[in-house]
Amino acid sequence: MAVYTDVTAEDLSDFLSRYAIGDLLSYKGIAEGVENSNYLLHTSKGYFFLTLYEKRVAAKDLPFFLGLMAHLAKHGIKCPQPVADKSGNALGTLAGRPAAIIDFLEGVWPRRPNAIQCAAVGQVLAKMHLADADFKMTRANALSVSGWRPLFDQAKDRADGVQPGLRDLLSAELDHLEKSWPKSLPQGVIHADAFPDNVLFLGDKLSGLIDFYFACNDMLAYDVAIAMNAWCFEIDHSFNVTKARALLNAYSRERKLSAEEQAAFPLLARGASMRFLLTRLVDWLNVPPGALVKPKDPLEYVRKLRFHQGVKSITDYGLDQSGFAA
């Protein structure tokens, strides 16, 4: 979450008059994240989130995101729900941007995740993947392997200014991933961004999976690799196999990884590292002037990529070949 587009109190009050969520008492921008403009609203009927969708989120994709959240909720997945206006529309326009109001979920995201929380993330991802089997809408993943080369091209001329040798590292890794990326693993709708700041907890109990604006159709195991990258490394960037074991085991109890998924998992983990390394690098080099946003460090994912380059088997992550943690 972030703020790129300012909203005046007058415009916001006019926008909220279309909804039955009470009178506006206060609102404030939320600076975390990098994608959309987000505000926490306090009205006479409670708290809500307002999201203004910025350039990386296409307006044509918004029905997919909002429909997915409604679908998951019907299947028992705790996620925020769009609030329809008095005419029944979940989407509106505010400050020249597509906008939606989302209901408020209690909870906080974990700054230092523990193994219990990692297990909860693995479980909810597996349940999401199973629940999505009958979701009819589809959305291609623009940030899969075919989208990485264009990102690299945007950043390559300045990459070595971020870290010497980074351009050559990225070029060689892209060559490898483009040649080796799997094409026949089980697919479905994935979250694609299940980072700690997109998962809410009350203590160790997961209270909500949020921010579905990268959700798309792709390999299910790739979603698990993204989550492992996000949850199972420490602040010093060391890999925590206890956390990975908890996440992978909990996932496998709900949906067992196939032999093909297990064999491909180290490559998927490398690809997940590359995806976030490249988008963070582009964002790092192109922060809009005056934006209330702190870009995330791309070098975190350089370290993760180098770790995965040395992994030979999914057993190195804590999962045995039967699909459960060793």
> Residue 56 is part of a domain; what is its CATH number?
3.30.200.20
> Does the pLDDT at position 266 exceed 50?
yes
- Collapsing DSSP to helix, strand or coil, 46 comes out as strand
Q: For strands 92-94 and 82-83, give the pairing.
A: unpaired
The predicted-structure confidence for 273-296, as pLDDT tens digits, reads as follows 999 999 999 999 987 666 556 778
Answer whether residue 4 is part of any domain.
Answer: no
Q: How much of the chain exceeds pLDDT 90, in percent?
A: 79
| Domain identity same for 201 and 312 | yes
| Domain identity same for 239 and 127 | yes
Sorted by sequence, the CB contacts under 8 Å of residue 114 that are 6+ apart come out as: 204, 243
> Does the pLDDT at position 306 exceed 80?
yes
| Domain identity same for 278 and 164 | yes
pLDDT bracket for residue 87 (50, 70, 90): very high
Answer whether residue 109 is part of any domain.
Answer: no
How many whole angstroms separate alpha carbon 326 and alpha carbon 318?
A: 6
Answer whether residue 298 is part of any domain.
Answer: yes
Residue 37 confidence (pLDDT) = 83
Higher pLDDT, 288 or 159: 159
Residue 30 confidence (pLDDT) = 81
Domain that holds residue 148: 115-317
> Does the pLDDT at position 1 exceed 50?
no
| Domain identity same for 267 and 139 | yes
Higher pLDDT, 58 or 84: 84
Answer whether residue 16 is part of any domain.
Answer: yes
Answer whether residue 128 is part of any domain.
Answer: yes
| pTM for the whole structure | 0.90
Average pLDDT over residues 212-217: 94
CATH code, 309: 3.90.1200.10
How many whole angstroms separate alpha carbon 67 and alpha carbon 273?
A: 28
Residue 55 confidence (pLDDT) = 67
> Does the pLDDT at position 206 exceed 80?
yes
Of 103, 134, 162, the position where a domain reaches its end is 103
| Domain identity same for 57 and 133 | no
Answer whether residue 3 is part of any domain.
Answer: no
| Domain identity same for 205 and 130 | yes
Answer whether residue 1 is part of any domain.
Answer: no
Answer whether residue 322 is part of any domain.
Answer: no
How many whole angstroms separate alpha carbon 9 and alpha carbon 31?
A: 18
| Domain identity same for 202 and 132 | yes
Are the beta carbons of 305 and 274 closer than 8 angstroms? yes
* Cα distances (Å, whole numbers) of residue 304 to 64, 139, 239, 274, 301: 31, 28, 8, 9, 5
Residue type for position 7: V
| Domain identity same for 168 and 289 | yes
| Domain identity same for 144 and 269 | yes
Residue 31 confidence (pLDDT) = 64
Q: How much of the chain exceeds pLDDT 70, in percent?
A: 93
Residue 226 confidence (pLDDT) = 98
Of 79, 103, 127, the position where a domain reaches its end is 103
* Average pLDDT score, the chain: 92
Number of independent structural domains in the chain: 2
Sign of the dihedral defined by the CA atoms of residues 271, 277, 280, 285, in that order: negative
| Domain identity same for 159 and 31 | no
Exposure string over 291-306, b if 16+ CB within 10 A, otherwise e:
bebebbebbbbbbbbe
Average pLDDT over residues 52-66: 84
The predicted-structure confidence for 20-31, as pLDDT tens digits, reads as follows 999 999 999 886
| Domain identity same for 129 and 160 | yes
| Domain identity same for 82 and 125 | no
